Amino acid sequence: MNNSRVRRPWRVAAAALIAGTVLLSSGCGRDDKSPSWQGAGSSAQPDGGSSDTPSAAPTLSTVAVTSPAGEAKDVVAITEVKYTSDDPENTTVTVTDPKGDEVKGTLDKDAKLWKPEKALAWGTKYTVTVNGTASEGKNGSTTSAFTTMAKPSKLIRVTSFLGDQQKVGVGMPLIIKFSKSIPESYRDDVERRMTVTATPSQEGTWGWISPTEVHYRPKVYWQANSKVFYKVQLAGVPLGSGYYGKSDLTVDLNIGRAFVMTVSNKTKQMTVKENGKVLKTIPVSLGKSSTPSSSGTMVVMDKQRKTVFDTTDTDPVNGYKTPIDFAQRITYSGQFIHAAPWSEGRQGHTNVSHGCVNVSEAMGSWLFSRTLMGDPITVSGTEEKLKDGNGWTDWNISYEQFKKKSYL
């Protein structure tokens, strides 16, 4: 994985900081370019005469805005304000919009940096006021202004698979998708702008599934009945080749009870636990040798009370079309947990399915009424291993392996 970075223009300060910065004040309409404040020229008198007395030195300042440059145009909407101060601890920074309303942001006094809480409006002029501590002969405040770039035509939309107040299982990954591929050199920026807060606190990480999809999983399954809040702030963020993030999003999520299914090919049984307690042991029939079930950890991706499995399009000779009850998808390739009354006599003894986890009609109904999207199921002992990406396979690798999918 190549994490090499390109140097991005928007990260470079818009103006170089000159040592000993001074702020000059000039009279309206004056066109005298001589450095009179240094005593190099004479000052005009009201009556048009002249005096040998040097003009007064300008007021120096203890603070200065260094980026964006004064009156800068086409500034990115997520710009940060950088400044200098002789007394950082007692310095404040205020950014206001054209109406004079203050823009919400955070101030890092150690780094002398102000960051907006969210992207600024496109094509809008903002005023920065920095107030510090005045000292003898020096002013303690300064103002500057800049204008953000016009709304770009090339925008990337970001979406969340999950919605507010949804309740999911303890194995549910957080899934973020983009409307266009994110270049590798920008993926660390994207991750820094995606934050996850779990209550109680739980360790976790983002991992890229593809150039257009990134998942988040905790180190171990989510704690039962916990709360998860995640935020993606990509509005106005440069994403390469002239593209920018279109918008931000936030999601408040609820984690349900710990409902975990474990299937052994050796015993042909499914063990169902809720919050660590065994609720039921269910006979199953897995995939026969020619169409084996996948061994690995999967999660419930979708639930359908009634559906039809139709494989005749892909296999006109050996395909089949069968009505199915209580279907719960666990892979993209078409493996489900579902009721199979036709194999009830084989369940617990012999594998006869096309790769699915067959259970009885009664047990299919029982499971269906209790599972949530994101409930994990681990199958072991079959002839075939689960392929990475065949479903939400985030739990089929170790946490250390998943962390390697991150660009941070």
408, part of any domain: no
Range name among 36-50, 148-162, 191-205 with the lowest pLDDT average? 36-50
Do the domain assignments include residue 33?
Answer: no
pLDDT of 251 strictly over 50? yes
Q: What is the pLDDT of residue 314?
A: 77
Is 53 inside a domain boundary?
no
Residue 145 placed within a domain: yes
> DSSP string of 148-213?
EPPPPS-EE-EEESS-TTEEE-TTPPEEEEESSPPPGGGHHHHHHTEEEEEES---EEEEEEETTE
Residue 332 pLDDT more than 70? yes
CA atoms of 234 and 247, how far apart (whole Å): 6
- 311 & 365 share domain: yes
Residue 29 has pLDDT above 70, yes or no: no
Q: Does residue 61 surpass a pLDDT of 90?
A: no
pTM score above 0.75 = yes
- The whole-chain average pLDDT of the chain stands at 88
Window from 75-79, 137-141, 143-147, 377-381 with minimum mean pLDDT: 137-141
Least confident of 10-14, 23-27, 76-80, 85-89: 23-27
Residues 278, 339, single domain; the answer is yes
pLDDT bucket at 221, cuts 50 / 70 / 90: very high
Q: Do residues 176 and 156 lie in contact, with contact meaning Cβ atoms separated by under 8 Å?
A: no
The answer to whether 270 and 286 have CB atoms below 8 angstroms apart is no
**338 is an active site residue:** yes
Return the number of other C-beta atoms located less than 10 Å from residue 144's C-beta: 22
Same domain, 209 and 114: no
The answer to whether the beta carbons of residues 262 and 376 sit under 8 Å apart is no
**CATH code for position 180:** 2.60.40.3710
User: 55 pLDDT exceeds 70?
Assistant: no
pLDDT tier, 171 (very low <50, low <70, confident <90, very high otherwise): very high
The residue-averaged pLDDT of 345-355 equals: 97
Question: Is 119 within the bounds of a domain?
Answer: yes
Q: What is the model's pLDDT at position 304?
A: 97
Whether 294 contacts 387, CB under 8 Å = yes
| Helix H or strand E encompassing 401 | helix 399-403
The residues pairing with 379 across neighbouring beta strands, listed in sequence order, are 263, 296
Domain CATH code at residue 84: 2.60.40.3780
Q: Are residues 379 and 309 in the same domain?
A: yes
User: pLDDT band for position 135 (50/70/90)?
Assistant: confident
Residues 277 and 381 reside in one and the same domain: yes
Measured distance CA(139)–CA(21) in Å, rounded = 12
380 vs 24 pLDDT, higher one: 380
**Does residue 11 sit within a domain?**
yes
Q: Could you tell me if 2 and 146 lie in one domain?
A: yes
Buried/exposed 264-281: b ≥16 CB within 10 Å, e otherwise? bbeebebbbebeeeeeee
Instruction: Tell me what the mean pLDDT of segment 76-99 comes to.
Output: 96
Cα(325)–Cα(323) distance, integer angstroms:
7
3-state DSSP call for residue 234?
Answer: coil
* 27 in a structural domain: no
Q: What is the model's pLDDT at position 8?
A: 52
Distance CA 131, CA 93 (A): 6
104-125 pLDDT per residue, tens: 999 999 999 999 999 999 999 9
> What is residue 319's predicted lDDT score, i.e. its pLDDT?
77
Q: Work out how many domains the chain is built from and give that number.
A: 3
Distance, C-alpha 318 to centroid of its chain? 44
Instruction: Place 44 in a pLDDT band, splitting at 50, 70 and 90.
Output: very low
Q: Nearest 5°: CA angle at 381, between 269 and 260?
A: 50
Q: Are residues 172 and 247 in the same domain?
A: yes
Same domain, 231 and 291: no
The mean pLDDT of 126-136, rounded to a whole number, is 94
The pLDDT, as a whole number, for residue 13 is 38
Question: Does 320 score more than 70 pLDDT?
Answer: yes
From the list 28, 338, 349, 354, the catalytic residue is 338
349 is annotated as an active-site residue: no
CATH of the domain at 359: 2.40.440.10
Whether the pLDDT of residue 149 is over 70: the answer is yes
**Which 8-state DSSP code applies to residue 403?**
H
Q: Which of 135, 151, 167 lies at the terminal end of a domain, its last residue?
A: 151
Q: Are 254 and 166 within 8 A, CB to CB?
A: yes
Residues 315 and 227 occupy one common structural domain: no
Share of the chain above pLDDT 90, in %: 81
Mean pLDDT of 262-289: 98
**CA separation for the pair 224, 254 (Å, rounded):** 9
Same domain? For 192 and 83 the reply is no
Q: Which of 96, 116, 151 is the last residue of a domain?
A: 151
Query: What domain range includes position 315?
Result: 259-399
In a domain, 194, yes or no: yes
Domain limit, last residue, from 255, 282, 304? 255
**pLDDT the model gives residue 58:** 55
